[in-house]
Structures are given as structure tokens and as C-alpha cells.
Amino acid sequence: MERIKEALERAKRQRESAGGMSVPARHNNAVAQVSGKASNTLEIEYTHTRVVSPDPVAMREKRVIVGGKGDAVADAYRMLRTRTLRGMKEHKWNSLAITSPRAGEGKSLTAVNLALSMAREIDRTVLLVDLDLRRPSLHEFFGFDVEKGLSDYLTGDVAIEDLLVNPSVERFVVLPGRGRVDNSSELLGSPKMAELAQEIEQRYENRIVIYDLPPVLAVDDALAFSTQADAFLLVVEEGGTPAEEIVAAHDVLAQANIIGTVLNKAADSPGQYYY
């Protein structure tokens, strides 16, 4: 809760200094001022990115991890973060797509908590992108409303800088989705999406981009986008995902780099969940 209070206070100060309004960028300039100090800690002042105050109730209900040391689930995500970053560093990858064989296995929750855990590293920034265009939900984990989303960029003339949101967490930005798009796989496989992926992955050298994709066996969206992500992380549910569906998901993503599999909802003891 202390982290949430600090985030809310920081967001309030930023709104007051900007006259209570966020100023959208109109050009392809950097959306944040990044500076490194002697301690190698990245400090970011968001000048053109919308800064919002997260809803603590929504975060708690959605199981967003805000705990520190001693929190078993937070510790599990730190382990996942460390192992994932190690594998990405070995291959010089900076983008990670997260999916699951089917719905309800916790891929979006894993994407959010892994992204937040990575953002707490002092030497990197994280951009979390909602590519589940049929059922965008990342904004719900922080309790903010979406005025324009990724589909507006892909189908219209909306600047990407007008979509970015910082939920008052340092070094962490969300590119949300909005509404439902039925031709999602066509959009994700389009040249405009390919250009966007290249742009956001290469803009900052120390940035990690995490994509939340739809279930791989439900629609062909993940397959359509698979060539744009450096690596994939597959989320499965203990006792819920049949072995044949895990094999089928690997078959669909056979040409992609699957960096690992997350066993979600694995009960270690009554009332506790480890990831």
C-alpha cells in the first residue's frame, strides 16, 4: 500500500505542475525525458505521456502485485523476471510476447505483473502493449479509462503518443487497447503494425517491450504477429490446461522463439498461489 500512496502523490504533483492536464505529443519525438545518474538509476519525467492515478481497489481485485520482499507471489515474479531477462540478454532480445493456449489461464495477469517486476529494475524501462484487440483488458488492471486505443492507431490517423499511459509507476508505460476489433489478425499482421513494433522496440536502447496477445488456440492473432516479437512466453494453468493443448500451442508457434512456459495457479499451500 505504501507504493500506491507514493504513486498517487507523485501523480498529483505532476498534474499540479502541468496545470491539471496532460499534454499530448503531436510529433514523433521522444515521449519521455530520460536521464541516468551516477547510481545508474533511470529517472523519467513524462512530458507528453498521459499520467493517471491507478485505482488501488482495481489493482487489488485484479491481483496486481504491489508487495515488497516477503511477498511469496512477488518473489515468484522476481524469479520469473530474472530468468526471463537472462534468456533475453543472451540472445540480445528486447521484446516478449505473452500468450496461452486458451482463455482464462492468466496470460494478461502474468504480462502485467512481469512487466511491473521488470520496471522495478533500475536500469531499464518497460512498455506493456495490449494486443488482445478482441478483448483488451490491461487498462482494467489499473482502473483507468481508455479514450483511444491501439485499434484507433491501426485503423485511423491517431498518433501513438496520444495513446500512451503511465499509471504512476516509474519506468513503466502502457499502450492500451479499446473496444473490440473483429479483423484483429489482419491488423496485427499489417505493415503498419510491423512498423509500429519496430519503432517502439528500437526507440530506447534500454527498453523492454511486452505484448499481451490473445490465446494461441482461440484465434490466429498470435500467429499473425509471431514474426514481430523476439520471443514468446507461454502461460498454462496447472490442472486446467490439457497436455495436448500445450503441445498444440507449441506447434502453432513452432517458428517462434519460445523462451519458456509459466505454470500458473499452482497451489503450493491452501490460500496461496505461486506462478
> How far is 110 from 161, CA to CA, in rounded Å?
25
User: In the chain, where do the E strands start and end?
Assistant: 33-36, 42-45, 50-51, 95-99, 125-130, 165-166, 172-175, 207-212, 231-237, 258-264, 266-269, 272-274
Handedness of CA 103, 246, 117, 2 (dihedral sign): positive
91 within 8 A of 257, measured Cβ to Cβ? yes
* Confidence label for 9 from pLDDT (cuts 50, 70 and 90): low
DSSP 154-209: HHS---GGGT-EE-S-TTEEEE---S--TTHHHHHTSHHHHHHHHHHHHS-TTEEE
**What's the rounded mean pLDDT across residues 115-124?**
88
* 91 phi and psi angles, rounded to 5 deg: -100, 0
* Confidence label for 13 from pLDDT (cuts 50, 70 and 90): low
Residue 98 has pLDDT above 70, yes or no: yes
Return mean pLDDT, the chain.
83
Residue 272 has pLDDT above 80, yes or no: no
Give me the long-range contacts of 23-31 (CB less than 8 A, separation at least 24).
23/47, 23/48, 24/48, 24/50, 24/159, 24/161, 24/162, 25/49, 25/159, 25/161, 25/162, 26/159, 26/161, 27/159, 27/161, 28/161, 29/161, 30/203, 31/161, 31/164, 31/173
Residue 273 has pLDDT above 80, yes or no: no
> How far is 87 from 233, CA to CA, in rounded Å?
11
- Among 155, 236, 247, 153, which Cα is nearest to 200's? 153
Encode pLDDT of 140-171 as tens digits. Answer: 999 999 989 999 999 998 999 899 999 999 89
Encode pLDDT of 166-220 as tens digits. Answer: 999 989 999 999 988 889 999 999 999 999 999 999 888 889 999 999 999 999 9
3-state secondary structure of 252: helix
* Class of the domain covering 2-274: alpha beta
- The residue written with cell numbers 492515478 in the block is 53
